[in-house]
């Protein structure tokens, strides 16, 4: 049965607000909470940037009824893969439910501000593969001495190891990363704009790689970024914390101010067109139903922004989730 997760946007909301939203999401009937993890946000106005692992600890204590997950963290530079494994194991022990470790190759807003170089995709991919080897070995209880091209450990061991299975989900936006997910992760995470394109470019290559490796069919975690608004003005207000996410240089830029300036140099309509948009529950159902029926998603994250977030979460639980669960 599909689990429905509510997305906690740490680039938009302060941690105290995220906890409030999480409580409302629990009361609304969500099964899980997925939280983003970045050092910098996407713009320098209308933004926030908490330390997600601290917030996850608070969530595990405040809301023990729901699964928790990162969507996603980058175990490449500023946080060593061994520390990511330690953090994930800690959250696993604090929550009675499942903690889902979502990982990806990241953006320069995570690394550049702290003085790290942000290399090309091939190096990021190779780093992530090494990182996953370290994380999985530490999860298994191994005392690990590892000599990789990018990372080393010396008799590293988790002395507070996980007590439950921590599924590892790898975020992919194209066939290369989806094939890495098939080989090294438990599941595939994908942000869906156009379902047909997402299936052909990301999900199908992962499934073909899974068959090649003679592995079980890969689990899928999908999410869609949606503005919930009745007018263009409301939509833009709902979107303003995220507009830098669609700036052309968003992968390599490290400064949220520069991302804001770049995004604002384009017509608002062009930036808004890069997100899904709905003004009613019926339209939201049309947006999210394919993730249930066509993708057979194990997890669907409702990633939504509105001018009244708390009331929107309540509405999602009352009217959207029952339709998607049918």
The per-residue pLDDT for 320 is: 98
Q: Residue 165 — very low, low, confident or very high, per pLDDT cuts 50/70/90?
A: very high
Q: How many domains does the chain contain in total?
A: 1
Q: Residue 273 — very low, low, confident or very high, per pLDDT cuts 50/70/90?
A: very high
Instruction: Establish whether 100 is a catalytic residue.
Output: no
| Range(s) of the domain holding residue 107 | 3-325
Residues 6+ apart with CB under 8 A from 276: 193, 224, 225, 226, 227, 287
Of the candidates 38, 40, 100, 221, the residue annotated as catalytic is 38
Pairing assessment for the beta strands 276-278 and 299-305 based on DSSP bridges: unpaired
Task: State the average pLDDT over residues 254-266.
Answer: 98
pLDDT in tens, 80-123: 999 999 999 999 999 999 999 999 999 999 999 999 999 999 99
245 CB neighbour count, 10 Å cutoff: 19
Q: Residue 144 — very low, low, confident or very high, per pLDDT cuts 50/70/90?
A: very high
Q: Residue 228 — very low, low, confident or very high, per pLDDT cuts 50/70/90?
A: very high
The per-residue pLDDT for 81 is: 98
pLDDT in tens, 195-207: 999 999 999 999 9
Mean model confidence pLDDT for the chain: 97
Q: Is 37 exposed, middle or buried (0-12, 13-18, 19+ CB in 10 A)?
A: buried
Q: Tokens 């320098």 label which residue?
A: 44
Of the candidates 11, 37, 107, 130, the residue annotated as catalytic is 107
CA–CA separation, 124 vs 111, rounded Å?
12
What does each C-alpha distance from 159 to 91, 136, 138, 148 come to in angstroms? 14, 15, 10, 23
Instruction: Establish whether 40 is a catalytic residue.
Output: no
Q: For residue 271, what is the domain's CATH number? A: 3.20.20.30
The per-residue pLDDT for 283 is: 98
The per-residue pLDDT for 10 is: 97
The per-residue pLDDT for 101 is: 98
């Amino acid at each position: 049965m599909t689990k429905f997760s509510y997305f906690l946007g740490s680039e938009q909301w302060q941690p105290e607000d995220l906890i409030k939203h999480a409580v409302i999401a629990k009361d609304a009937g969500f099964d899980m909470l997925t939280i983003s993890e970045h050092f910098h946000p996407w713009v320098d106005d209308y933004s926030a940037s908490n330390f997600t692992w601290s917030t996850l600890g608070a969530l595990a204590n405040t809301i023990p009824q729901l699964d928790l997950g990162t969507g996603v963290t980058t175990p490449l530079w500023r946080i060593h893969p061994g520390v990511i494994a330690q953090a994930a194991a800690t959250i696993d022990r604090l929550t009675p439910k499942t903690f889902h470790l979502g990982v990806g190759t990241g953006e320069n807003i995570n690394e550049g501000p702290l003085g790290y170089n942000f290399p090309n995709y091939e190096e990021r991919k190779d780093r992530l593969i090494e990182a996953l080897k370290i994380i999985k070995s530490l999860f298994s209880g191994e005392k690990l001495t590892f000599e990789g091209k990018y990372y080393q450990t010396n008799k590293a061991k988790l002395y507070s190891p996980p007590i439950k299975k921590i599924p590892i989900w790898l975020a992919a936006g194209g066939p290369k990363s989806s094939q890495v997910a098939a080989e090294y992760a438990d599941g595939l995470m994908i942000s869906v704009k156009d379902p047909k394109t997402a299936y052909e470019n990301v999900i199908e290559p992962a499934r073909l790689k899974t068959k090649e490796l003679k592995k079980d069919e890969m689990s899928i975690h999908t999410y869609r970024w949606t503005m919930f608004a009745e007018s263009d003005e409301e939509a833009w207000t709902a979107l303003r914390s995220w507009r830098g996410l669609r700036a052309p240089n968003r992968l390599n830029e490290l400064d949220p101010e520069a991302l804001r300036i770049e995004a604002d140099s384009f017509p608002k309509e062009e930036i808004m067109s890069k997100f899904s948009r709905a003004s009613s529950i019926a339209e939201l159902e049309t947006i999210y139903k394919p993730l249930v029926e066509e993708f057979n998603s194990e997890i669907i994250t409702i990633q939504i922004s509105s001018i009244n977030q708390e009331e929107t979460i309540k509405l999602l639980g009352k009217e959207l989730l029952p339709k998607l669960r049918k």
